[in-house]
Structure 1
Amino acid sequence: MTRPPHLWELSSHPNETGLAAPPEWLLADARRRRNGAAEKLPAVIRDGEWHKTMVSGAGTLRRRGFSEAAAVAALIAENGKYEREIPAGSEREIGELVADVYERYEGGEFLSGTPSEKNTAGKKDSTAPIVFTPLSSLLENVPPEPPWVVSGYLAPGSITLLAGRPKVGKSTFAFALLGKVASGEPFVGLSTSAGGVLLLTEERHDTIAEKARALGLNSFPAASTPIAGNESIHVLMRHDAGSVRWPEIVRQAMAYSAQSELVVLVVDTFDRWSGLRGDAENAAGAVNEALEPLQYAAAAGLAVLLISHQRKSSGEFGEAVRGSSALTGGVDVVVELERPSRTLQLGSHARVLRAVSRFSSTPEELYLELDEHGFVPIESPEQVKSDNERVRVLDALEQGEELVSTDQIADELELPKRATRRYLSELLEKGLVTREGAGKKNDPYTWRASA
């Protein structure tokens, strides 16, 4: 059967016609999605759904204001629900995945100060022409050495990492350094450029006061203000920062430093202030995110000093810093504060700085010790060792009454025989010991302290 054709009448223009009311089922669904709880992650992450589940979880945590480090830790825990015996993704892969999600959808937060829907704030238009520069023009106004705040170690526009094991004296060392920078006096024989310092510290007020008194610093503020101080050293206590997020802390520190004309920003310790916890400290993405605000601070002209820890197990020089290698790779100078080898006999107050750096003028090793005047350099550790061993030889002779041979002294003090002979000859020249014998096989030299 043939149906009659449809007939149409043009009664009004489309722009003059209102939209039809949405059906009730659509409105009810929209209300349910808006008011309901976020969709929960599955109890078991099945094969083939790992990437989708992790991206979804990272996006949810980002929207709810969690830091990247917190998201990494949460998803590492979720990763244990994978259906197979072997997890689908390693901790490194989870860190990279989370970093990608946060970069894509929240990249402009630090620069703009407000969350952005897309990663557009602070970035150039992808269609804009790229500016290429000849190397000669780029280096035209760059001095051969940066304008060091502390020669070889700390400079405006760069980030220095100071690492050491717990209780080795990192904070004490940093406090001593800050005092010399504030006064413009040399530090362990290194020239400094006088300037103000902003210290972000996890120390308590009483421990700060103790270090300040011990090192002769009297410029720390009262504890009643979160950020305060005189013209030299300013402090922000960790508990006074409250729940303010790490990028915002750095942004405000940059603004305060510019307002107060400060030149150095110290973060003690980096992991506590940046919120790196547990496995996040080993995730390259989380570490790079925590470093990013400080790279802006350095680019703004601040000399940035980060204090961190060494891992428990020993590592090669420059590779013993705890956590992801992204930390050492993201800074300009890596300095490790350690106790020197016991064979040098430098005493319990001696320390050695070992450094790797982008700058050729950074010393590879610097020995120092803490005395009543602060840290002082040990010019020649080997000479100090020789002096200490020479004193031991003289003490041993003064405590005995009988003549003793060179070999007997060396064996008793567990010293090399060649070094013992040298020490005895030096003591003889100074008239501190006497010698008998011909120095031959059947008539060896014997020694006693001078009367």
Structure 2
Amino acid sequence: MTKLETITAEDLQNRTYEPTHFLVDELIPEGLHILAGAPKIGKSWLALWLCLCVSQGQPLWGFATTQGEVLYLSLEDSFQRIQTRLFDLTEDAPPTLHFAIMADTLKHGLEQQIEQFLNEHPNTKLVVIDTLQRVRSVGGDSNLYANDYQDIGLLKKLADRRHIAILLIHHLRKLHDDDPMNMISGSTGLSGAADSAFVLQKHSRLAMSLLCIALGATSPTGL
């Protein structure tokens, strides 16, 4: 048995911690985040725009960003498709934005691949995984919540340890729900381990919205 390590409320109040660092001011802090939306709604376009803003230190929707290198694991695309999107968004692509279209899965090498990239590029601030399902192994675990929480927890620990933001691109359920949290595909174990979730919804042919849900200790500003 290991003895519990405790701290008094008084000692805790007198302890000094580093303030939370935001990758995008008031919106995306260091930690693990989920961007969920229906297929073909524009999640990858939004993620790419975020990557460009961070890699160039440009504002996102008027919110200041912390400039740094970015790794985008675009696992459902080809380099040619990514190139086409880049040309649509910018004529001056930065050398600080890196792409990969293949990666290992969680618990089978992905964490080590990301760690290696971070060691080679220590100024990295953001890692995007598009999509989450592409890096999850097909398992027989009957406890869906525990499996979801464990998988996301691995990436959450990595983000916290390396002081970066990790954004997971994910899907929504087909059935509508008044609670946007219930619309994210999978169990509540996914959102339970994340710091925030963003739900991208289309209301009409020309109207879309991005709802930000603060899940962790920090409270991003909703849009």
Residue equivalent to 1:253: 114
Structure 1: distance between partners of 2:181 and 2:197:
7
**Distance apart, 1:268 and its partner CA:** 0.6
The answer to whether the 8 A contact 1:179-1:217 is kept is no
**How many percent of aligned residue pairs carry the same amino acid?**
23
TM-score of the superposed pair, with normalisation by structure 2: 0.86
Please give the residue correspondences for 1:343-358 in structure 2 after superposition, counting only pairs within 5 Å: 348=206, 350-357=207-214, 358=216
Residues 337/276 of structure 1: CA separation in 2 closer, same or farther (3 Å cut): farther
Residue equivalent to 1:420: none
Which residue identity lines up with residue 156 of structure 2 in the other structure? Q
Residues 172/235 of structure 1: CA separation in 2 closer, same or farther (3 Å cut): same
Give secondary structure in 1 for the equivalent of 2:23. coil
1:363 aligns with 2:196: no
Structure 2: distance between partners of 1:130 and 1:333:
29
> What per-residue deviation string (whole Å, max 9, x for no partner) do you get for residues 124-179 of structure 1?
xxx34332123454453236x621101233222x1111000011100000000110
For structure 1, list consecutive stretches of 5 or more residues without a partner in the other structure: 1-126, 221-229, 367-451
Residues 282/130 of structure 1: CA separation in 2 closer, same or farther (3 Å cut): closer
Residue equivalent to 1:210: 84
For structure 2, list consecutive stretches of 5 or more residues without a partner in the other structure: none
1:303 aligns with 2:165: yes
The answer to whether the 8 A contact 2:57-2:66 is kept is yes
TM-score of the superposed pair, with normalisation by structure 1: 0.44
Count of residues in Structure 1 that have an aligned counterpart in Structure 2: 216
Larger radius of gyration: 1
Please give the residue correspondences for 1:91-110 in structure 2 after superposition, counting only pairs within 5 Å: none
Compare relative contact order (CA 8 Å, sep 6+) and give the higher one, 1 or 2.
Answer: 2
**Distance apart, 1:245 and its partner CA:** 4.2
Root mean square deviation, CA, Å: 2.4
Please give the residue correspondences for 1:174-189 in structure 2 after superposition, counting only pairs within 5 Å: 174-189=47-62
> What per-residue deviation string (whole Å, max 9, x for no partner) do you get for residues 344-370 of structure 1?
xxx62x421112103564223x2xxxx
Structure 1: distance between partners of 2:24 and 2:3:
40
Residue equivalent to 1:291: 152
Which residue identity lines up with residue 270 of structure 1 in the other structure? L
The answer to whether the 8 A contact 1:154-1:305 is kept is no
Which residue identity lines up with residue 213 of structure 2 in the other structure? V
Residue equivalent to 2:176: 314
**Distance apart, 1:187 and its partner CA:** 0.4
The answer to whether the 8 A contact 1:200-1:268 is kept is yes
> What per-residue deviation string (whole Å, max 9, x for no partner) do you get for residues 297-351 of structure 1?
12211211111000000012222101111101110101101123x4xxxx62x42
Give secondary structure in 2 for the equivalent of 1:246. coil
Residue equivalent to 2:29: 155
Residue equivalent to 1:267: 129
